[in-house]
Amino acid sequence: MPELTDCHIHTYRCGHATGSAEDCVQAALRRGLSGVVFAEHLPLPRSLDPDSRLSMPAEQIGDYLAEVDAARRAHPELAVVTGLEADFLPSQVPQTAQTLSALREAGVTVVLGSVHFLDGWAFDDPDCIGEWETKDIDEVWKRYFAVWCDAVSSGLFDIMAHPDLVKKFGHRPSFNPAELYAQAAAAAAAAGVRIEVSSAGLRKPVGELYPSAAFLRAFQAAGVPVVASSDAHTPDEVGNNAEAVYEAMRQAGYTSVSFPDGDGGWKEIGL
């Protein structure tokens, strides 16, 4: 078995997760992982997250960075990388770019990009699931992939999180999405970003990895490198189903998985 890593871990600071960085590091060590990336949700604009239920409060960013630093110093036996999960908000690209560049100066070495909002609708939030009833699923899928390709091409992100999150609750298009997958994979290759293979989908109604096997094959064919993720929101979920993630990568034809070196570069681990 190759070294196991987890590139997407949350802490209590985002308001919908539990556990400190230290708790998650302890869990990673118990599970025998060799490296973890903390990817707390970058604070959203107040209008989208008025009570800090979806993202960490802006005033906690400094404490978050210090907490991850402390966990790294306390555990030299584990690679502990400081990252963030940032939303792609099409109307806020310059502001997001400015925020992320300041945070990269402050010690963030990897940024995961996510599409959780389509035109202001948090389509993956269980509290907003009712809105699906008012939508044409085919149109939501097409809109999701159009926004996803813009996110990839924005230059804001190093890794794209849960690439086919639109399927979270099991909503499937009536058409074969192969063309959307090919376009997304080509956009990712052109932008030089990596994508995560996330076990989080196994814990959701859809019951499968993000991305699907067909989408992952499209990324492999386009030459897009991968990282392994759990999107843990509790210490218990750190490294969740890592073996299934690595097996899916091998099935798709990948021979290595990336892990950030904490200095803006990447290390490749053979599968």
Question: Does 199 interact with Fe ion (rule: CB under 5 A)?
Answer: no
Member of 52, 82, 99, 114 binding Fe ion (CB under 5 A): 114
**How far is Cα 187 from Cα 221, in angstroms, rounded to an integer?**
13
Question: Does 231 interact with Fe ion (rule: CB under 5 A)?
Answer: yes
Question: Does 27 interact with Zn ion (rule: CB under 5 A)?
Answer: no
Could you tell me which stretch among 20-28, 137-145, 182-190, 231-239 binds Fe ion (CB under 5 A)? 231-239
Question: Does 164 interact with Fe ion (rule: CB under 5 A)?
Answer: no
Least Å distance, CB 124 to Zn ion, is: 9
Q: Is the dihedral of CA 240, 241, 243, 247 positive or negative?
A: negative
Question: Does 40 interact with Zn ion (rule: CB under 5 A)?
Answer: no
Nearer to Zn ion, 46 or 250 (CB): 46
Q: Which does 216 bind (CB under 5 to 8 A by kind): Fe ion, Zn ion, none?
A: none
Residues 6+ apart with CB under 8 A from 182: 218, 222
Structure tokens of 65?
């960075």
Residue found under tokens 């400094």: 62
CB atoms within 10 A of CB 155: 11
Q: Which residue of the chain is nearest Zn ion when measured via CB?
A: 231
Question: Does 196 interact with Fe ion (rule: CB under 5 A)?
Answer: no
Q: From residue 76, how far is each of 44, 54, 157, 256 by CA, in Å?
A: 32, 31, 27, 24
Site for Zn ion in 140-199 (CB under 5 A): 161
Site for Zn ion in 225-254 (CB under 5 A): 231
Residue found under tokens 């070495």: 109
Nearer to Zn ion, 23 or 138 (CB): 23
Beta strands in the chain (DSSP E): 5-9, 35-41, 79-87, 110-114, 159-160, 194-198, 226-229, 256-260, 266-270
Question: Does 6 interact with Fe ion (rule: CB under 5 A)?
Answer: no
Could you tell me which stretch among 77-85, 186-194, 220-228, 241-249 binds Fe ion (CB under 5 A)? 77-85
Residues 6+ apart with CB under 8 A from 137: 171, 172, 173, 174
Member of 40, 85, 196, 237 binding Fe ion (CB under 5 A): 85
Q: Which does 164 bind (CB under 5 to 8 A by kind): Fe ion, Zn ion, none?
A: none
Question: Does 82 interact with Fe ion (rule: CB under 5 A)?
Answer: no
Residues 6+ apart with CB under 8 A from 139: none
Least Å distance, CB 10 to Fe ion, is: 6
Could you tell me which stretch among 26-34, 85-93, 185-193, 203-211 binds Fe ion (CB under 5 A)? 85-93
**How far is Cα 252 from Cα 86, in angstroms, rounded to an integer?**
27
CB atoms within 10 A of CB 191: 17
**Could you list the residues that contact Fe ion (CB under 5 A)?**
85, 114, 231
**What is the contact surface with Zn ion in residues (CB under 5 A)?**
161, 231
